[in-house]
Amino acid sequence: MTEQNFSSMRAAMVESQLRTSDVSDPRAIAAMSRVPREDFVPAQRRAMTYIDRPIPLSSTRALNPPLVTGRLLSEAQVAPGDKVLLIGAATGYSAALLIDMGADVTAIDEVDGPHAAATSVIRGPLAVGHSDGAPYDLLFIDGAVEEVPAALVQQIVDGGRVVTGIVERGVTRLCSGRVVDGVLGLSSLIDMEMVVLPGFSAPEQFVF
Phi, then psi, of 15 in degrees rounded to 5 = -75, -40
pLDDT at 24: 85
Inter-axis angle of helices 3-13 and 26-34, to 10 degrees? 160
Distance (Å, rounded) from C-alpha 1 to C-alpha 123?
A: 32
pLDDT at 2: 65
**What confidence category does residue 22 fall into, taking pLDDT thresholds of 50, 70 and 90?**
confident
CA dihedral defined by 24, 86, 68, 57, rounded to 10 degrees?
A: 150
Contact criterion met (CB below 8 Å) for 58 and 111: yes
Strands 62-63 and 55-56: antiparallel
| CATH of the domain spanning 3-191, picked from 3.20.20.105, 3.40.50.150, 3.40.50.300, 3.30.390.50 | 3.40.50.150
| Residue spans per domain, the chain | 3-191
Q: What is the DSSP letter of 16?
A: I
Instruction: Give the residue-averaged pLDDT of 13-33.
Output: 93
pLDDT digits 0-9 by tens, 74-104: 999 999 999 999 999 999 999 999 999 999 9
pLDDT digits 0-9 by tens, 124-159: 999 999 999 999 999 999 999 999 999 999 999 999
In the predicted model, is pLDDT for residue 106 greater than 90?
A: yes
